[in-house]
Structures are given as C-alpha cells and as structure tokens.
Amino acid sequence: MKEIPLTEKQWQFAESIEKHSVTLYGGAKGGGKSHGLRLIMLMRRLEYPGSIGYIFRRTFPELESNHISPLFEQFPELRQYYNEGKKTLRLPNGSQLRFAYCGPKKDLMKFQGREMHDLAIEEAGDWPHDYYDFLRTCNRSSRPHIKARTLLTGNPGGIGHKWLKRLFVERKYEGNEKPSDYNFIPALVSDNPALEKSDPDYKLRLSSLKNELLRRAFLYGDWDIQAGQFFNEFSRDIHVVKPFKIPRHWNWFGSYDYGFNHPSAWHFWVCDEDGNVYLVNEIVRAKMRIDEQITSVKEYLKKMTESGERNEGGIIFWAGHDCWAQKKGGDPTISEDFSKHGVLLRRANIDRKQGASQVRMYLAHKKFDDGKKEGPRVFIFSHCEITID
C-alpha cells in the first residue's frame, strides 16, 4: 500500500491523538478535516493491529461521499477487505475500520455495549452533546497496548457549537472533565495546500460571503459567533472590556428576568457622563428562591458601596411584566415580594422590535478611512461570561 500523506497540521492532529484522550481538529472551512480524519483513522488501524475504529456522520450519504468513496479512490487495493453490508473494512492485521451513522436518538442504541478503541465524529457541530456523551461511553479499550481515543472535527455553528466551544476554546470544565484530556488543533484554508492548489479561488469565495457571521466562521474559524446569531454587531474584541473601578457618581440601574426552573437573571449596569453603558455584573442562577435572590442582590450592592464605586441606597431594576402577574389565592406578586425587602422593580418596555433596534444602535461601531472610530455605546465587563456567551 502506498504512503499515507498528511499535511503539517494533520500531523499535529495525529500527534495530539497520541497525547490526549479527545482532540478537535478544524475551525475554518477547507482545513482538510475529512481527508485528515480518514487517513489518520486508517493509519492507526495499521499501527495498532487488532484495533477497532469507528467514523461517524449523521447520515449514510455523508459517510459515502466524504469517506467511503474517497478512501477507495485513493487506495483501491483496500476494497477487497471491505464488507459492503456491514460497512466495515477488515484489514489483514486484524484491525477494523467501521463506518457508522446516527440520525434520530434511537439509533444510538445500536452501539450500546460496543468497544470503540478510536471514536471519530466528523462535523461534531452537527451533534447534540448527549449523543456525544453516549458514544463516549463506548470509547474504551480492554487491550493494554491500545489507548482509547476520541477524534473530532468541526466548524463554528450548529447544534454542537456551545459544547465544543466550552471544551476546546474556552476550556471550561465540569464534573469529572480533566483539562489535560482535551486539545484543539485549529486549521485554516492555508493549512490545506492541496485545496489551495486545486481551487485557488476557494478562499476568495469564502471572503465574498455576504453573511458576516458565516464569513467569520468559515474563513477564520471564529467561535465567538454562530449562524443565526441575532446581534451580529457584537464583537468580543470591541465590546468586552476589563473591569475597572467605577466612578462613584456614575448612574446605576438594573435589569431582571424572573425564573426558577430556568435561571433568574439579574444584571447591574452603570451609565457614564457621555451616555455610554457598561454591564458590570450578572447574577444568573436557576432554582433560587425569592429570599435567596434578594440576599444576592443586596450583598453585591453593599459590596460596591463599601468599595466606593456607588452611592448608598437602592437602584431600580427594569423587569418583565410577569413580575406583576396576580397569583392564585391573593398571594403577593413577585414585584410586591421584592418591594417589601427594598428591591424596586419597574415595568420594562417589552416591545421586542423596538428593544432590538435600541440594542443594535448601542452595539453599532464603525471605522472611517482616516482611522477614526465611532461607537459603540455599550460595553460588558469580561467576568460577565454568561451574558457574553
């Protein structure tokens, strides 16, 4: 069999797989994800006799066009080892490369109890987190010479955008997740010499996309956006600022979205002399009782008063109209509950179109030919991570 060719970035992907339990390769479009994944999975079957690797896509046509057909076009001598019915390549050294797809959630049950030494999920952004979690339970090895590994490829956007960004870009871990298990190998079009040579205009076509969000995602692998984002004026580089000491005379106000099973959200804002607005803190948590919310709000305001960053006294929070909904049995409304404890709510203007227009005006920014900048008028302190997300 002829040599397996990899680009420099694809070799980095292969080396990362040896060191880390889970590696994500990709980012921008055209970085050689499918080609690299397929060849590395084949290489590892040859390197580890008796090993089993699975390549997953959401549908079989995607598997056929992205992996099965290209594999036999590049290595026609392998076709003799392929079982069409089982979609399995059985190599003479006892290794198996299996091609699998998973559409509806019930398809996952087909793989329960399987031992997958290498689990490869292509376009992981198309996969819900619970699908990934389930398949990871199959990613194990009972053979001492084979380490279980997960290989992912993907671009920003899609249903899996949030969990991929958390694990590989933000590197925020939960529960038993270990930071050393995860590694991200970003790739751009420029990391794929074969594509640049065969289709030199591909990068230009990506640059010409009218949708700025898609352009940033596909061309630069920008994980701070996703297709369908409503406020595409937002930019982490422009709107997110490091916290600073707030002048005592600046005007404070708040906003509040009631919740219990879904999080309640308190936001604390300040406005400077020029009308610029800064989000300086957030309290966003689920299953908080009214008394717990009141305590959290008052403790934060007390802290800022003691630090000299605000004058004494309460502030007004603008809230959704559900805070004034009458309860059965004549119990106090949410607004009345807060008012009794000195937290003042006022009815917000809940016109969504008008509100969106105002937010866009405050987010808007532009750069002129002479280098001067205009706007924006709203900024977010960098520790308000939930709001930024």
d(CA 82, CA 100): 14
371 Cβ contact partners less than 8 Å away, ≥ 6 residues apart: none
Q: pLDDT category, 368, cuts 50, 70, 90? A: low
Q: Is the pLDDT of residue 302 over 80?
A: yes
Low-confidence winner among 17-26, 273-282, 320-329, 375-384 (lowest mean pLDDT): 320-329
**pLDDT tens readout for residues 30-79:** 888 999 999 999 999 999 999 999 999 999 999 999 999 999 999 999 99
pLDDT given for residue 245 in this prediction: 95
Q: pLDDT category, 371, cuts 50, 70, 90? A: low
Q: Which residues are 379's β-sheet partners?
A: 278
* 3-class DSSP assignment, residue 120: strand
pLDDT given for residue 99 in this prediction: 97
Tokens linked to 318: 């603008």
Q: How many CB atoms lie within 10 A of CB 361?
A: 13
Question: Residues 208-212: what's their mean pLDDT?
Answer: 72
When the pLDDT of each residue in the chain is averaged and rounded to a whole number, the result is: 89
pLDDT given for residue 159 in this prediction: 85
Q: What percent of the chain has pLDDT over 70?
A: 95
Higher pLDDT, 212 or 144: 144
Residue type for position 25: Y
Tokens linked to 32: 């050689």
How do strand 316-319 and strand 182-187 relate by DSSP bridges?
unpaired
Higher pLDDT, 339 or 235: 339
Low-confidence winner among 227-241, 271-285, 342-356 (lowest mean pLDDT): 227-241
Q: Report the candidate in 219, 189, 183 with the shortest Cα–Cα distance to residue 7.
A: 189
pLDDT given for residue 119 in this prediction: 98
Q: What percent of the chain has pLDDT over 90?
A: 60
Q: Is the pLDDT of residue 365 over 90?
A: no
Residue type for position 151: L
**pLDDT tens readout for residues 111-123:** 999 999 999 999 9
Q: Is the pLDDT of residue 304 over 90?
A: yes
- Residue with tokens 């590994």, as numbered in its chain: 149
Q: pLDDT category, 370, cuts 50, 70, 90? A: low
pLDDT given for residue 109 in this prediction: 92
Tokens linked to 86: 């089982």
pLDDT given for residue 386 in this prediction: 84
How do strand 344-347 and strand 316-319 relate by DSSP bridges?
parallel
Note whether 42 and 68 are within 8 A (CB).
no
**pLDDT tens readout for residues 214-263:** 777 777 778 876 545 667 778 888 899 999 999 999 999 999 999 888 88
Helical pair 33-47 and 8-19, crossing angle rounded to 10 deg: 50
Q: pLDDT category, 173, cuts 50, 70, 90? A: very high
